[in-house]
Amino acid sequence: MTDSTPPFNDRWFYALVAAGVFLNATGLFAPILEPDGALYACIAKTMAQTGDFVNLYAVGLDWLDKPHFPFWVSALGYLVFGINTFAYKFPALLFYLGSAVYTYKFVRLSYPKLTAQIAVLVLLTAFHGVLSNSDVRAEPYLTLLIIGPVYHFYRVFLGGKTAGNAQSENWLHLIAGSFLTGCAMMTKGVFVIVPIGAGLGLHWLLTGNWRELLKPRWYLAVLLSFVFTLPEIYCLYAQFDSHPEKVIFGSTGVSGIRFFFWDSQFGRFFNTGPIKGAGDKFFFVHTLLWAFLPWSLPLYIGVGKAVIGIVKRRDPCPEYVSLGSGLATFALFSLSGFQLPHYINIVFPFYAVLTAQFLVSLNPTNLRRWITGQTVIGCLLVVLIVALLVVVRPTHLGIALVWVLVIVFATFTLFRQNTMLSLLGRMVGTMLLVAGVLNLFLYPTFMQYQAGLTAAEFVNDQPKLAQRPTLLYGPDTFGESSWSYEFYAHAPTQYVRDDSVLRQLSSRQSVQVFTTSTYADSLEVRGFHVRRMAIFPYFHISQLTGDFLNYNTRATTLKPYVLLDVRR
């Protein structure tokens, strides 16, 4: 194939996009996953209930870790849709779909329509992108807040090269890009400047436009970006810097502003901040192999081809922004002392562009080979997901198997030919099957073992219990299942860390307590009268194991949580 290859028929393209939107939306109604997703949902819940959009609280204490922007958006979602799962996840999905729109617009600045179409479909079907719309954290927001500024700033750079791009329009793009950059910093911190700026810098250097680095407009953009972060700076000052007496990370005099600009980013990168990790330089090399399925192999080869072209000074790319942003962020995260798989999601739009660029460059013979290879990958994913169904035995196993058969039949009926459309159609079908099984059948089954969720639902259904506040007791178990209980319980909750508080609260009347079975036993030993009202099995389902997945051995992996009636 060449760049002169015609694009897909618009009807087919929109149909595949609709399928891609649906597969990302399958996670909207699955309960919120512990621990991080439930924690963030609780922080936004407190914000919406109190109307306090300045201070962040978790576990009843001041919370200093992530910036405010995602919590503001989630809280607004609660105010519109009520406090529920959909209200928490839906705004994030809109941001992710917005990143697909920006990806299309960005690609069309330098590539033909076909490349833009492929890039959008790759982005909508990349596995960890789909997963992030079910297990919602900051990444769906950042995906838009990084590709968006890059698009606007690239439009400013192109200037008169783009038809109808008047000077006033350039300023609008500069302001829009700066605003989105400010929102990105209020979502993750100042390191977002790397994926936003590195690609533009590399493009200018490789295309002989290095003088762009000297133009005042880019320094103005940096200044405006920090101006747009002033709401975050104010909130941090009001909650932390103006209250040096607060104990944060075990110390007083902690500056929220310093944490925002240094400890939360550079501290994690150099592993010198209050939150530490154990970095592995090759972590994202193997993580990207599964996180970007089913497109990881063409991505790696496409990146290699682009890098070789730069080294040998041949086959110049229409733009190097995607390569620069993708590689710089990959290197930054790989060298960091703190690493998690979902971090790399934020540059998926650039990886989608690199993948699409590679696929479009294939000649007919190589395209047929890649169609065969990608189809094999798709078939392996289908076999894997069917095997999981058999091993897990979800609640609606029969319906799940019918779902698999229908998707497989429809995919290979509609996309039988060796064309680019068939390649994209087969991969959309594969991921529709995978996402559907995960979000509609497997995760609802797993969520039965998220004890806080099931306990909250049990309490909400009991009129007498639902009217009582619940004490979440356990000095070192907060985060296991307390956050999901706090989010889904209709009545108020309170975190209790020691016996003295529990004795005081239960001195006049019995109190309702949710905790582990081990802590329940210890309360009896220490003189409390404990009555067990219900037991709920627990497993850390964000870290699945073979024994838990296996229906026959699952019971051996479970830990009991209990709902108690406790009095002195």
pLDDT at 303 > cutoff 50: yes
In-domain check, residue 3 = no
In-domain check, residue 182 = yes
Statement to judge: residues 425 and 556 lie in one domain: no
Statement to judge: residues 56 and 95 lie in one domain: yes
Q: What pLDDT was estimated at residue 527? A: 86
Neighbours of 500 (CB within 10 A): 9
Q: What pLDDT was estimated at residue 283? A: 79
Statement to judge: residues 312 and 374 lie in one domain: no
In-domain check, residue 1 = no
Residue labelled with tokens 């998690």: 340
Which of 360, 375, 394 terminates a domain? The answer is 360
Q: What pLDDT was estimated at residue 332? A: 85
Statement to judge: residues 50 and 130 lie in one domain: yes
CA dihedral 518, 524, 527, 528 (to 10 degrees): 100
As a whole number of angstroms, the distance between CA 308 and CA 381 comes to: 31
Statement to judge: residues 468 and 347 lie in one domain: no
- Report residue 99 as tokens: 């990143």
Statement to judge: residues 85 and 222 lie in one domain: yes
Encode pLDDT of 350-364 as tens digits.
999 999 999 999 999
Encode pLDDT of 115-130 as tens digits.
999 999 999 999 999 9
pLDDT at 3 > cutoff 60: no
In-domain check, residue 262 = yes
CB 128 within 8 A of CB 292: yes
Model-level pTM?
A: 0.93
Which of 380, 413, 448 terminates a domain? The answer is 448
Q: What pLDDT was estimated at residue 132? A: 94
Q: What pLDDT was estimated at residue 538? A: 95
As a whole number of angstroms, the distance between CA 115 and CA 361 comes to: 10
Statement to judge: residues 406 and 477 lie in one domain: no
Statement to judge: residues 294 and 440 lie in one domain: no
CATH number assigned to the domain comprising residue 533: 3.40.190
> If pLDDT is split at 50, 70 and 90, which confidence band does 7 have?
confident
Q: What pLDDT was estimated at residue 1? A: 47
What domain range includes position 103? 17-360
Statement to judge: residues 416 and 315 lie in one domain: no
As a whole number of angstroms, the distance between CA 16 and CA 530 comes to: 57
Q: What pLDDT was estimated at residue 275? A: 59
Q: What pLDDT was estimated at residue 167? A: 72
Statement to judge: residues 72 and 124 lie in one domain: yes
Encode pLDDT of 76-110 as tens digits.
999 999 999 999 999 999 999 999 999 999 999 99
As a whole number of angstroms, the distance between CA 141 and CA 152 comes to: 17
Lowest mean pLDDT among 1-10, 315-324, 379-388, 520-529: 1-10
Lowest mean pLDDT among 94-108, 149-163, 262-276, 310-324: 262-276
In-domain check, residue 55 = yes
In-domain check, residue 6 = no
> If pLDDT is split at 50, 70 and 90, which confidence band does 160 have?
very low
Q: What is the mean pLDDT of residues 466-494?
A: 88
Statement to judge: residues 203 and 144 lie in one domain: yes
In-domain check, residue 489 = yes
- Report residue 70 as tokens: 């995602």
pLDDT at 217 > cutoff 80: yes
> If pLDDT is split at 50, 70 and 90, which confidence band does 166 have?
low
Task: Tell me the one-letter amino acid at 476.
Answer: D
Q: Which residues contact 563 (CB under 8 A, 6 or more apart)?
A: 455, 458, 459, 465, 512, 513, 514, 532, 533, 534, 535, 536
The proportion of the chain whose per-residue pLDDT surpasses 70, expressed as a percent, equals 94
Which of 306, 341, 360 terminates a domain? The answer is 360
Q: What is the mean pLDDT of residues 250-275?
A: 77
The proportion of the chain whose per-residue pLDDT surpasses 90, expressed as a percent, equals 74
In-domain check, residue 5 = no
Statement to judge: residues 374 and 469 lie in one domain: no
Encode pLDDT of 383-394 as tens digits.
999 999 999 999
Under DSSP, is residue 110 helix (H, G, I), strand (E, B) or coil? coil
Task: Provide the domain count of the chain.
Answer: 3
